[in-house]
Structure 1
């Protein structure tokens, strides 16, 4: 299978398997032929509204067929697709506008107060596609053309626009297909948002191979979710950890009923807690459980199967198109080990072109000579697995011992009454740094009644002495992104 872009793959599948189920959302479903027709008519509409080649178009996301169709229409029209989160405030949209100076803005519904001229609405497209002819595609995008600009979530700082090529997306699709052993008869429920790289790239992988995708506006509508799983015979899923937490809390073990039906569940975009991993292994003994490690800049670079032969903190082995290296602070490759970790770096076809608005020299600390350098501290063990310790600056060094804050957090979460927690390093005049633990209690637990002495004893029985926090602070909410990523920088 050799396609130069995801849109080309979709159009070809519409010829090869026109009646095959392509997409399902809350409003209906389309076959590959119907989806291709929507895309081609969307191109006609875009041109009629004044969109041209290389036009930059901000698009408000949604978990819908019409959103994904417009995305593909823009790409086949040789415009640049720039997704933004659904239900952004006007202030946030203006911020995106100032960052990329788009030519057009496409929104889910009308709103007042935006300082921008060329605003289009999805309703206009829905009304227009019935009255236009599908465009004729004479030329598909070239591999090195710009496909989209994706914004990072700003977990570790301000949001950045990541420039992605069509070949980047094909390489990413190949990583997913190879790592998950994805087949063309796949019917995957994607619960990850489509404005973010994680959700989009799972959709791309399924479209590339000619599989089917089911989506839903919100994970909280669990009755609808499980009905779709049964109705469409969903055999795989993708979600971020925060979505899993909702499913487990609100439905108990309902997900376990699909153990024999589900080939795999992919997780990514944020670390999955050890507690949730244990729960999944228990309720889904027949399902492959995959953790996809990566970033918007480099896509999926490592894949681990934690349903079997699981190593704590391991992010698995390199993905199909990824060459993983461990380097020092000067970007020199080192022979890494548990006692000699370094910065995880990746050379891959999937690596971004660059950051929007910044030249190569200004981002050399992040990307140079096709290699993306992360701030993640890791080493490669004797089995060739990559072991992730944490982000540079988050790693604790106490009395000469280095360890990940997750070593502490995973144990703390097993103590009764704790809903969430975060461990960070704080300065210590004697040891250099020492652990501090932030605790979010479960709703029914009162701070003055919480057994802090019991927690200390609990930790002393399960952790080395240097890992036990010296300072404790109760807070109402541990700061996390919508994906579930811990925002430690807000606690420092």
Structure 2
């Protein structure tokens, strides 16, 4: 079974059930399916064949949903990207994915032709063939330690397995009404979209958490029963609205939190405000979405852990030689399950197999499992910076910094932040005085997304490197 076929079944069994709400627009499952079919017909009419890539700007509107599932129904591979993607990253993704079409709204499209969502529809009829589970549905581009985008291949089976695991743990049902304010260019937000529609529930689209008036207004207007957020979102909600969320304690059935560090005191505060809400926090990565879960109230004695393995998932810890470790022993966290990605785009299977220990995918995270099965993370082996749940490559930020006249070279690390979990700190070598720091930050806003701009700058004489010339970022921590 694939998610697209499940949406079709909902359109037959519950055609008038509201699937998506966006402002004053409410779309039933019958209308949702018809619009998905019209989008699929467009791709087919343009001659796109099975396996061709389509870059889709993941802006939070109903047209994205039609195009996303429509591309799948037409046999295409979707490449969802952030509408704010900078041109350097966009070019690298295009070079890697070689898409046949780019659709949506991109702020930095430059010379590339980008078709608006309004064009992605056709009334031409066609025979529907649902994708097979082993087929690749999406390429989600992460940022690897080299700074080059890495295309994670997710099959339809991977996506269905993940949605099933998540819904099983949280306890989602068709009666849920979920507010989606997360970015849907990332695994978390896109996963929530799929989880809701798999269950035949209702999804309420909200641009972001920026406006508390809109956030709480939609919770009241649409009788929302749950939502997903990252810890940075909660810090913002608490700062801007104090304890107002407690007013909805009897209404909110669940909250899913993920993608970044959250202080225990904030977890406990949320528990006090929402004593009967199932507050879940996940651990995972794009390659293996939501591999572990913790339920704050049920696991209150283990709030410093990331919980236990998700349903239908196995977690084990291995040493650097690939030996399985016992409880309490620290090593690399590895996961196994149907949700683990099918591979990396352009990487041969025999090379991809090196990312596994005895069938367990290597996450690159370091930790241990205690005698009760709770997973504790100690550090990240990789150097990716996690800003409020968004992954930042130090290489990408360094490239932008080094393009600024007066900066000879730079190195970036993540440093702790009470709200965002981590923020970027840059060490720079060059002729610029400290008085130019604010100007440097301002110039960076034109080169990278705002969350990638260094919050802290430190001027140093030289960057520590290995004998082969590789930057030793860990020495700067």
2:376 aligns to what SS in structure 1? strand
Shift of the 123–322 alpha-carbon distance from structure 1 to 2, 3 Å rule, reads same
Cα distance in 2 between the residues matched to 1:196 and 1:422: 19
Tell me, yes or no, if the aligned pair for 1:336 and 1:380 is still in contact at 8 Å: yes
Over 3 Å counting, the alpha-carbon distance change for 1:422 and 1:98 in structure 2 is closer
The answer to whether the 8 A contact 1:290-1:303 is kept is: yes
Report what 1:236 is aligned to.
226
Q: Structure 1, residues 169-191: CA drift from partner, whole Å, max 9, x if none?
A: 11001111111011111111122
2:246 to 248, 251, 256: 256
Deviations 1:179-214 (A, max 9, x none): 101111111112221111111111111111211111
Q: Distance in 1 between matches of 2:223 and 2:282?
A: 24
Matched residue, 1:350: 339
Instruction: Please say if residues 80 and 148 of structure 1, whose CA atoms lie closer than 8 Å, have aligned partners that are also in contact.
Output: yes
- Show the counterpart of 1:373: 362
Return the TM-score normalized by structure 1: 0.76
Q: Deviations over 1:421-479 (max 9, x none)?
A: 7899xxxxxxxxxxxxxxxxxxxxxxxxxxxxxxxxxxxxxxxxxxxxxxxxxx95599
Deviation at 1:271, TM superposition (A): 2.2
1:220 aligns with 2:214: no
Distance 1:346 1:330 in 2: 16
2:4 alignment counterpart? 7
CA separation of 1:478/1:234 partners in 2, compared to 1, >3 Å: closer, same or farther?
Answer: farther
**SS of equivalent residue, structure 1 residue 266:** strand
Kindly state the Cα deviation for residue 68 of structure 1 after the two structures are TM-superposed.
1.2
Contact 1:191 1:216 in 2 (8 A): yes
Unaligned runs of 5+ in 2: 384-414, 426-453, 459-472
1:438 corresponding residue in structure 2: none
Q: Distance in 2 between matches of 1:33 and 1:184?
A: 15
Q: 1:69 aligns with which of 66, 70, 80?
A: 66
SS of structure 1 residue aligned to 2:115: strand
Which secondary structure state, in structure 2, belongs to the residue aligned with residue 229 of structure 1? helix
> CA separation of 1:143/1:40 partners in 2, compared to 1, >3 Å: closer, same or farther?
same
Match of 1:123 among 118, 123, 140: 118
Structure 1 pair 28–77 and aligned structure 2 pair: CA distance change class (3 A):
same
In structure 2, how many angstroms separate the alpha carbons of the residues matched to 1:94 and 1:57? 14
Deviation at 1:227, TM superposition (A): 1.3
Gaps of 5+ in 1: 395-408, 425-474, 480-487
Q: Quick one: distance in 2 between partners of 1:345 and 1:141?
A: 29
Match status 1:363 vs 2:320 = no
Task: Please state how far the C-alpha of 1:313 moved relative to its aligned partner.
Answer: 2.5
Distance 1:140 1:372, change over 3 A: same
* Equivalent pair of 1:259/1:286 in contact (CA under 8 Å): yes
Residue number in structure 2 paired with 1:196: 186
Q: Take 1:88 and 1:419, find their aligned partners in 2: how far apart are those partners?
A: 20
Q: Equivalences for 1:143-292 in 2 at 5 Å?
A: 143-154=133-144, 158-292=148-282
CA–CA distance in 2 between the matches of 1:336 and 1:278? 27
